[in-house]
Structure formats: C-alpha cells, structure tokens
Amino acid sequence: MATANRVALVILLAMAVQGIHGLNFVVTNPAEGSDGGRRFDNEIGRAEAAQIMDDASQFIWQTFAQSSPADRRNTDITISLSVESMSGLAYSSADQIHLSAEYVANYQGDVKREITGVLYHEVTHSLQWNGKGAGPTGLIEGIADYIRLAAGLAPSNWPKPGSGDKWDEGYTVTAYFLQYCDTVTSGFVAKMNSKLRDGWDLGFFNDLTGKSVDELWNDYKAKYAN
C-alpha cells in the first residue's frame, strides 16, 4: 500500500475514534525508510499505534476517575504521533508525540510492549492537569509514569520501589512514591490530578493524606529501607 494510502487509513481510524469520545489520533512515519521506521511499521503499525493511544486515553480517564467529560482536561483534540530520526526516546509538545526511530531500531526485546508503555506515558501529558503550568515537573512526569506502572507496562529495567533521593525526582522514582501514596489514601493520584486543575500547592499532599510530603517520603523510604 502506498504511503499516502496508509496515512489516509490511519486518519480514517482517527475519525472513527473521534465518534467514540471526541479525541483524534493520527500517526505518521517520516522515518519509514530507516531501520527504526521499518521496524515500527512491521512490529507495531500505524493503525495499531493509533488504537494504542485510544486505549491509553480511556485507561487514563478511568485511572483519574474522570467518568464525566466535564472533569477532563482535554476532550476534543488531536493527539499525533510522529516516528522520526532523533536522539533520545520520545517527547511531547502541544499534543504532538515524537518517537525516536533509532530507539525503535535498537530496542532489545518486545518493542511493541515497550512503545505501548511509552505511548501511555506521553498521552497522559495531553490529558492530565498540570497546575496551570505551575505543577513541579517531577510530579507531572511521575504521574505519567504512574499511569504506565498502573497499566502493567513498566519495563524490567526500571529502578526498584524505594529508589531515589527526593519525592519529586520524577519519572519512575516519583511514580513508585505516588503508588505508595495510593496506599495511604485510596485514589490519591486521581485526587491529586483533580487538584492540579486549578493550580499547585505543596499542601495538596497534606490535604489528601493528613501528612506533609516530607513525612510521606520518609515513611515511603523507611518501608523499603531493608
């Protein structure tokens, strides 16, 4: 199938997804001639990647306890994925996800599962509240990795629970800390995300758990000290 036809197929899929809950998903592969671009098409595929992002959005809303569109940050946007030649792994900018073709090419193992986890993380950035831009980067990235963790998509090379030097270190370190906070207050991450709708205050931790973030972090570290 010609490249233009494949892209059109994905766009048609995105339009069908829009009819379900208002989001569009578009996948392109400018690096299709590279090793990573070919592996992406062969082992994941553009239509399947769009479906993964759709599944991710529904999982995110469920995890955030956002059954009503009125509770959600974005309900009518286009989230795009572009597979391109670049360093690193992936990043998001204005609801555009950029995925490294080199990372796809060199990944050892089940690349579809790995990229599924990456997409769950990146789609979270389009749908989570961020304290009107004031939320700590470590917390925002930690929530995105928490979603990946909650979906059972954490890779085997992630640090173990209890790792890290500070609660807002971000990514995996903060994700495991947030998972612990969920044991202190059920639904903690969903409630924290809701609070981030209107701004940011470190006191949110105390509001939700009755403990300061430092007390929670010390308790968390103590749990895994042995």
Residues 15 and 72 in one domain: yes
From 127, 158, 183, the end of a domain falls on: 127
Whether the predicted pLDDT of 175 surpasses 90:
yes
Residue pLDDT, tens place only, 49-91: 999 999 999 999 999 999 999 999 988 899 999 999 999 999 9
Residue pLDDT, tens place only, 142-170: 999 999 999 999 999 999 999 999 999 99
CA pair distance 63, 58, nearest whole angstrom: 9
Residues 72 and 163 in one domain: no
Mean pLDDT, the chain, whole residue set: 92
Instruction: Please give the average per-residue pLDDT across 108-126, as a whole number.
Output: 98
Residues 77 and 149 in one domain: no
Residues 142 and 114 in one domain: no
R_g over Cα of the chain? 18
Residues 47 and 118 in one domain: yes
Check residue 18 and give its pLDDT: 38
Whether the predicted pLDDT of 131 surpasses 50:
yes
Whether the predicted pLDDT of 10 surpasses 80:
no
**Phi, psi values for residue 77, rounded to 5°:** -135, 165
**Helix (H), strand (E) counts: the chain:** 10, 4
Residues 159 and 120 in one domain: no
Residues 90 and 123 in one domain: yes
Q: The tokens of 131 are what?
A: 């304290």
If one counts every other C-beta atom within 10 angstroms of the C-beta of residue 121, the result is 26
Whether the predicted pLDDT of 14 surpasses 60:
no
Residues 23 and 120 in one domain: yes
CA distances from 207 to 67, 74, 185, 190 (A): 23, 26, 11, 14
- The pTM is what? 0.91
Residues 188 and 153 in one domain: yes
Domain that holds residue 5: 1-127
If one counts the domains in the chain, the total is: 2
What dihedral do alpha carbons 53, 181, 193, 64 form, nearest 10°? 50
Residues 85 and 193 in one domain: no
Above pLDDT 70, what percent of the chain? 90
Q: Where are the beta strands (DSSP E) in 72-221?
A: 78-84, 90-93, 96-100
Residues 112 and 171 in one domain: no
